[in-house]
Chains A and B, each alone.
Chain A
Amino acid sequence: MAEHDITLTVNGTEHELTVESRELLVHALRDQLGYTGLNVGCESTMCGACTVHLGGDAVKSCTVLAAQADGGEITTVEGLADDGEFHPIQEGFQEEHGLQCGYCTPGMMMTATQLLDENPDPDDEEIREALEGNLCRCTGYQNIVNAVENAAEKMGGAAAQGDD
């Protein structure tokens, strides 16, 4: 099995590591680098529990090979809070009870932050559509939708001031 020496910058920290050609990004992040915030639900692009930002885009890290991500900038759930201050999406999930077991939550939040980046004021339907690739078995989604709306409201001020 061929091996590759790669570099991944995760939440601002640069890591050098060696991966097999077939090693999935999710396993490199979790098992090699210890970013266990992202979770594995299906290993087949269906559940979204492993979603991270790669180069600013939300991607399912179970469908990206670690070697493909060489040189990439990655944000995981561990990188959402800023110096211990919750990101508005984290506050939204907390305030709206948008999580129960929490297993889907990191992936949900990574998808939601990208949505809010592209559409700062999404309606209910747009949120549900955007979350199409993220499954939750606990919450029935309603409070997740509310959480995203809550975050959008909080971020509204920042977005209006040309933040991001």
Chain B
Amino acid sequence: MSVESVDPDDVDAADILGSAIERREDPALLTGDAEYTDDIQLPGMTHMAVKRSQHAHAKIEGVDTSAAEAMDDVIAVFTAEDVDVPGNLPVGWLLDSLRQVDHPMLAGERVRYQGDATAIVIAEERYAAHDAVDAIDVEYDRLDAATSPNEALNGAPDLHEDAPGNTAFEWEIGDAERTAEAFEEASHTASVDLENQLLIPNAMEPRGAVADYNPSTEELEVAMTTQNPHLHRLLMSGVIDHPEHKLQIRAPDVGGGFGSKIHHYADEALAAWAAKQVERPVKWIATRSETYLTDAQGRGHESHGEIAMDDDGNIVGLQVETEANLGAYLSTFAPAVPTYLYGTLLSGQYDIPAIHCEVTGAFTNVPPVDAYRGAGRPEASYLVERLIHLGAKEMEMDPVEFRRQNFVPDDAFPYQTQVAVVYDSGEYEKTLDRALEMVDYDSFRERQERAREEGKYLGIGFSAYIEACGLAPSELAGQLGAQAGLWESSLVRFHPSGTVTAFCGTSGHGQGHDTTYAQIVANELGIDYEDVDVVEGDTDEIPHGMGTYGSRSAAVGGSSLVKSSQKVVEKAKSIAAHQLEATEDDIEFENGEFHISGAPDRSLHIKEVAQQAYLAHDMPAETEPGLEATSFYDPDNFVFPFGMHAAVVEVNPDTGEIEFEQYVAVDDVGNQINPKIVEGQIHGGVAQGIGQALYEAAEYDENGQLLTGSMQDYAVPKAEHIPEMETDSTVTPSPHNPLGVKGVGEAGTIAAPQAVVNAVVDALEPFDVDHIDMPLKDEKVWRAMRENGGGA
């Protein structure tokens, strides 16, 4: 079932869309020619290092920089007192009840998490900058710290004056009254208390920035690790008070992001600001320990969920209370993640007539928490699928039949959920059936029974996940509190010789956009794939853009490229009609060729039209020379990929160790532009989901000190930890965009955790284990088996 990749030379131009061609970005990455931020060297370049708090919560009594300033090779040291610009990091998503708090790029009075920045050093070289940082002496008066939302909301010292009780917001969705009634009338209920632990994204490339200021022109160029250059330009221009049109943000090659490079952090702003102060280029590159302390973390939910059923096993209600960890300050999109990206997905793949969810956002002494791969949707899917597992158990039904019975039926789309969103299209039973076939479910229960008799504990876990991608339209996002539009912009430009450059406002960082976008544009224009070049990630080159996150690039960016291409074809058609002396209505466009209907020999290729458009010797009246078009594409609605993942595991009763027998992923991401890339995204996503299920967690001690602050302590899964995955897909095109695509980047990460946890809990059925919080470390599993009386 694994997709074979193909050489683009072996693909007919007409078949380029949907073809699993090899990626064109690979040669540079395979030879060392790629340029990541830390590869950039500029003449006169200086190095910045950041002094970070070792305490999670403390008053700053004084900062003594004299020793650092006196050191060789130190150019400047700056503290909060030196900051003469607003220096306050903004939040990009406002909720009605949100309490906004200050987030200074350098802390002056108080530090609120371990890693909070108090000073920066600019030095001639990297080692000297780090030496000088060590020589800065900060005097603190320590305060108590709280790292869990529950602690923070229940009596911990306030982090911010403007947020009493550490409450950032209280938010709800759904119908409380109807849900309460449903629970009263229900004949069965099941419930769970669970934690969706804090995760550290761990992109392999640490964050960094190289800023270069030209005092004569006042132009400031910042090359940085970003997923969304234009948004960073907008936010940074306010933070450091630099005019947006004289600020260039460029993403060189970016070594993974997974959300962590969406957000606007203090460090990149400090590098840009410092470059203006010292009037020399400034490079800042995080060390891995800095990324552990400061990269925005993901998840961090403590939830209580309940599900209600009638006698026949129909789900009649779902209610949820969640306390969400926001960390010490509000990061860029933080308020949206545990609310609109979470509460709206609580219907899962199910037809649930009454849902209610309340979320309280809490300030705690950990780094800001924001979007990490999936962002809100994994938390929702995990909770729903754990409840479904428990609901089936309560009903004494097979979990597969329980799901099937409660799925949104195929003929119910578009489907309005009770939590605001309208699902576009779906055939949920198809992915379920395919997954059942792949795991041979028919024989599994028997096999499981036999194994148990031999003292072996096999389990199967399902995950019928749903995801919302390509958030849109902008008007709706605005109503919900977004401080940005969620359209995407592109420019498709023919050159006089007939080749094309396509510019897009998304900004890929491993997803293979250069390849897939070229496939889209070549297909629309009917020209060779090799004739299309793709440019992303530079605010000076690309008219505008919103960036790459939330699996929006294909659905929104790709659709924008379709629109721009179509505008180009339209203009080319009128030029062709004019030159062929026909009316536009008589012109047909096929495989790059304009010809007169019924007279196929009278034709002009779009490349020839491009040449004519630049010659401009013979154009229709009122037509401008040149051949290019821009579009700002704002989709009508989200897209909703879905699928069924299933894990088959064996749990060792003596050690609690979990071994995979099989991992199956059947995903429906709509039409696929490049199936090989789709498959790769699923693999990577599943690995991160398995990481969360079994290994990963940001852990803190009672003082708020990070216990998992290195790769030694935080278990990023290795090759031996990830099983061979069997993937397959179904295709239900989305009606919400011209490509019929849905989105794939986050699917695996959303799907995997509950497949694994459900499998382990299924294996431990004889021990009467209902739930174990992730990560399912051996010892935890072993204890869970023992706690319920030794079982079997």
Beta-carbon contact of B31 and A77 below 8 Å: yes
Beta-carbon contact of A20 and B32 below 8 Å: no
**Which of A53-61, A66-74, A126-134, A155-163 lies at the interface?**
A126-134
* B780 interfacial contact with A, CB 8 Å: no
Beta-carbon contact of A46 and B676 below 8 Å: no
Beta-carbon contact of B31 and A145 below 8 Å: no
Residues of A with C-beta under 8 A to B677: 97
> CB-defined interface of B509-523 with A at 8 Å, one 1/0 digit per residue?
111100000000000
A78 to chain B, nearest CB (A): 4
Number of A-B residue pairs at CB separation under 8 A: 176
A138 to chain B, nearest CB (A): 5
**Which of B197-205, B472-480, B639-647 lies at the interface?**
B197-205
User: Chain A: how many interface residues by the 8 Å CB criterion?
Assistant: 60
Return the chain B residue nearest A129 by Cβ.
B720
Residues of B with C-beta under 8 A to A128: 718-720
* A8 interfacial contact with B, CB 8 Å: no
Report B656-710 residues with CB < 8 Å from chain A CB: 676-677, 679-681, 683-688, 710
Beta-carbon contact of A137 and B725 below 8 Å: no
* A116 interfacial contact with B, CB 8 Å: no
* B217 interfacial contact with A, CB 8 Å: no
Return the chain B residue nearest A142 by Cβ.
B683
Beta-carbon contact of A95 and B204 below 8 Å: no
Contact residue among B38, B256, B722 (Cβ-Cβ distance under 8 Å from A140): B722
Residues of A with C-beta under 8 A to B683: 139-143
Beta-carbon contact of B720 and A41 below 8 Å: no
**Complex Cα–Cα for A161 and B14 (A):** 43
Beta-carbon contact of B676 and A97 below 8 Å: yes
Beta-carbon contact of A140 and B26 below 8 Å: no
* Most central of B287, B684, B712 by chain A CB within 10 Å: B684
Return the chain B residue nearest A101 by Cβ.
B510
Beta-carbon contact of B680 and A139 below 8 Å: yes
Beta-carbon contact of B288 and A44 below 8 Å: yes
* A90 interfacial contact with B, CB 8 Å: yes
Beta-carbon contact of B711 and A36 below 8 Å: no
A144 to chain B, nearest CB (A): 7
Return the chain B residue nearest A42 by Cβ.
B288
Contact residue among B22, B39, B684, B722 (Cβ-Cβ distance under 8 Å from A138): B684
Report whether over half of chain A's contact residues are helix, strand or loop; otherwise say mixed.
loop
* B628 interfacial contact with A, CB 8 Å: no
Given the contacts A47-B204, A97-B5, A144-B719, A109 and B30 also touching, CB distance less than 8 Å: yes
A24 to chain B, nearest CB (A): 10
* B59 interfacial contact with A, CB 8 Å: no
B41 to chain A, nearest CB (A): 7
Residues of B with C-beta under 8 A to A101: 29, 203-205, 253-256, 509-510
Report B26-42 residues with CB < 8 Å from chain A CB: 26-36, 38-39, 41
Beta-carbon contact of B253 and A137 below 8 Å: no
* B777 interfacial contact with A, CB 8 Å: no
B714 to chain A, nearest CB (A): 10
**Complex Cα–Cα for A124 and B687 (A):** 17
Beta-carbon contact of A142 and B204 below 8 Å: no
Residues of A with C-beta under 8 A to B30: 77, 86, 90, 93-94, 99, 102, 105, 109
**Complex Cα–Cα for A40 and B202 (A):** 13
* B413 interfacial contact with A, CB 8 Å: no
**Complex Cα–Cα for A75 and B347 (A):** 54
**Complex Cα–Cα for A127 and B5 (A):** 21
> CB-defined interface of A20-50 with B at 8 Å, one 1/0 digit per residue?
1011000100110011111111111011010
Beta-carbon contact of A96 and B26 below 8 Å: no
Residues of B with C-beta under 8 A to A97: 5, 22-23, 676-677, 679-680
Beta-carbon contact of B509 and A44 below 8 Å: no
* B638 interfacial contact with A, CB 8 Å: no
Beta-carbon contact of A100 and B680 below 8 Å: yes
Report B482-532 residues with CB < 8 Å from chain A CB: 509-512
**Complex Cα–Cα for A23 and B125 (A):** 12
Beta-carbon contact of A140 and B255 below 8 Å: no
Return the chain A residue nearest B23 by Cβ.
A97
Given the contacts A23-B127, A101-B255, A77 and B32 also touching, CB distance less than 8 Å: yes
Beta-carbon contact of A145 and B719 below 8 Å: yes
Given the contacts A78-B31, A105-B30, A132-B718, A41 and B206 also touching, CB distance less than 8 Å: yes
**Complex Cα–Cα for A104 and B680 (A):** 15
**Complex Cα–Cα for A146 and B511 (A):** 19
Residues of B with C-beta under 8 A to A38: 32
A75 to chain B, nearest CB (A): 11
Beta-carbon contact of A46 and B680 below 8 Å: no
**Complex Cα–Cα for A37 and B32 (A):** 4
Residues of A with C-beta under 8 A to B401: none
A150 to chain B, nearest CB (A): 11
Beta-carbon contact of A46 and B710 below 8 Å: yes
**Complex Cα–Cα for A67 and B442 (A):** 63
Residues of A with C-beta under 8 A to B126: 27, 31
Return the chain B residue nearest A62 by Cβ.
B288
Beta-carbon contact of B719 and A37 below 8 Å: no
Residues of B with C-beta under 8 A to A81: 31
Return the chain B residue nearest A46 by Cβ.
B711
* A135 interfacial contact with B, CB 8 Å: yes
Residues of B with C-beta under 8 A to A47: 204, 288, 711
A43 to chain B, nearest CB (A): 6
Beta-carbon contact of B26 and A94 below 8 Å: yes
Residues of A with C-beta under 8 A to B724: 124, 142
B721 to chain A, nearest CB (A): 9
**Complex Cα–Cα for A20 and B127 (A):** 10
* B258 interfacial contact with A, CB 8 Å: yes
Beta-carbon contact of B26 and A131 below 8 Å: no
* B716 interfacial contact with A, CB 8 Å: yes
A77 to chain B, nearest CB (A): 4
* A51 interfacial contact with B, CB 8 Å: no
A42 to chain B, nearest CB (A): 4
Beta-carbon contact of B711 and A102 below 8 Å: no
B747 to chain A, nearest CB (A): 12
* Most central of B29, B36, B202, B681 by chain A CB within 10 Å: B29
Beta-carbon contact of A103 and B710 below 8 Å: no
Residues of A with C-beta under 8 A to B39: 30, 36
* A80 interfacial contact with B, CB 8 Å: yes
Given the contacts A42-B288, A101-B256, A101-B510, A131 and B27 also touching, CB distance less than 8 Å: no
* Most central of A36, A42, A102, A140 by chain B CB within 10 Å: A140
Q: Can you show 15 pairs from A to B with CB atoms below 8 A apart?
A: A42-B288, A42-B710, A44-B710, A46-B712, A76-B32, A77-B31, A97-B679, A99-B26, A99-B30, A101-B203, A101-B254, A128-B720, A132-B718, A141-B683, A145-B719
> What residues of chain A have their CB less than 8 Å away from a CB belonging to chain B?
20, 22-23, 27, 30-31, 34-44, 46-47, 49, 76-78, 80-81, 86, 90, 93-97, 99-106, 109, 124, 127-129, 131-132, 134-146
